[in-house]
């Protein structure tokens, strides 16, 4: 589903390498945590998957596409297969919860009744059916993140990327958010979550890919779980 083959990435000439010779494969239906200290390359890895950045060397393959040779006209198709959630929610503050979720399908020309149904389904998925008409600033942080997850899932992507989705949330709420991601994963979506949060990683016991200075220093399958003890902050 996602493969990195000897991927090196440098933002600009003279910069240190953000990723160094990274090789990994994430299969369809997996849930992988990407962990590492600040600056270790987690966000860069995510940006390469959605082609927000390109590899300097090596190949990135996503859902059967080699991104180094993907024609520009196919980028929107790739991005529709990949949902993304960020630490800071990024909701449209002047739109209701339902409008936030409906926005992209509307822009893509999905028929009105189908949009309404997709919005209702995704709100149910994240347990917020009763908040459809609220504005983002009337919701708690955890609720806002659930709206962001609903928005990312509305096109039924095959991959969901979550970049520090619990970074602004309290521990109990963080756990609820990851439980939703876990449920989404069990329903078939491949989930990749970047995090600093060792408590979450140790609790959910998924595959752990650890980066240090842009290199993979641990890649541990779900069944081989050993607690992450290192300081990731």
Ligand X SMILES: Nc1ncnc2c1ncn2[C@@H]1O[C@H](COP(=O)(O)OP(=O)(O)OP(=O)(O)O)[C@@H](O)[C@H]1O
Positions that interact with ligand X (CB under 6 A): 11, 15-16, 18, 36, 38-44
Q: Which is nearer to ligand X, 46 or 177 (CB)?
A: 46
Distance CA 224, CA 208 (A): 10
Taking the CA atoms of residue 71, residue 72, residue 78 and residue 82 in that order, the dihedral angle to the nearest 10 degrees is 140
Distances (CA, A) of 57 to 11, 13, 102, 117: 12, 13, 37, 43
CB of 26 to ligand X, least distance (A): 17
CB of 56 to ligand X, least distance (A): 12
* Contact call for residues 230 and 70 (beta carbons, < 8 A): no
Q: Which residue, among 219, 183, 233, 224, has the nearest Cα to 33 in the 3D structure?
A: 219
CB of 109 to ligand X, least distance (A): 32
Q: Which is nearer to ligand X, 11 or 187 (CB)?
A: 11
CB of 31 to ligand X, least distance (A): 19
By three-state DSSP, how is residue 51 classified?
A: coil
Max intra-chain CA distance, the chain: 52
CB of 16 to ligand X, least distance (A): 6
Q: Which is nearer to ligand X, 102 or 211 (CB)?
A: 211
Q: Which is nearer to ligand X, 107 or 233 (CB)?
A: 233
Q: Which is nearer to ligand X, 116 or 212 (CB)?
A: 212
């Amino acid at each position: 589903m996602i493969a990195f083959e000897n991927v090196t990435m440098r933002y600009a000439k003279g910069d240190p390498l953000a990723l160094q010779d990274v090789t990994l494969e994430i299969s369809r239906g997996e849930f992988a945590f990407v962990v590492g200290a600040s600056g270790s390359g987690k966000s860069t890895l995510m940006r390469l998957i959605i082609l927000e950045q390109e590899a300097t060397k090596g190949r990135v393959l996503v859902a059967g596409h080699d991104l180094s040779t993907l024609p520009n006209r196919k980028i929107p198709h790739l991005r529709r297969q990949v949902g993304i959630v960020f630490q800071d929610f990024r909701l449209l503050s002047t739109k209701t919860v339902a409008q936030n979720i409906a926005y992209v399908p509307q822009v893509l020309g999905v028929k009105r009744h189908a949009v309404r149904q997709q919005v209702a389904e995704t709100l149910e998925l994240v347990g917020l059916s009763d908040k459809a008409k609220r504005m983002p600033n009337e919701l708690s942080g955890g609720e806002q993140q659930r709206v962001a997850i609903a928005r990312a899932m509305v096109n039924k992507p095959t991959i969901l990327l979550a970049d520090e989705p619990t970074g602004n949330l309290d521990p109990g709420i963080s756990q609820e958010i990851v439980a939703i991601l876990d449920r989404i994963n069990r329903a078939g979506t491949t989930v990749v979550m970047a995090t600093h949060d060792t408590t979450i990683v140790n609790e959910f016991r998924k595959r752990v890919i650890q980066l240090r200075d842009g290199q993979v220093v641990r890649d541990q399958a779900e069944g081989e779980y050993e607690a992450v003890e290192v300081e990731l902050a």
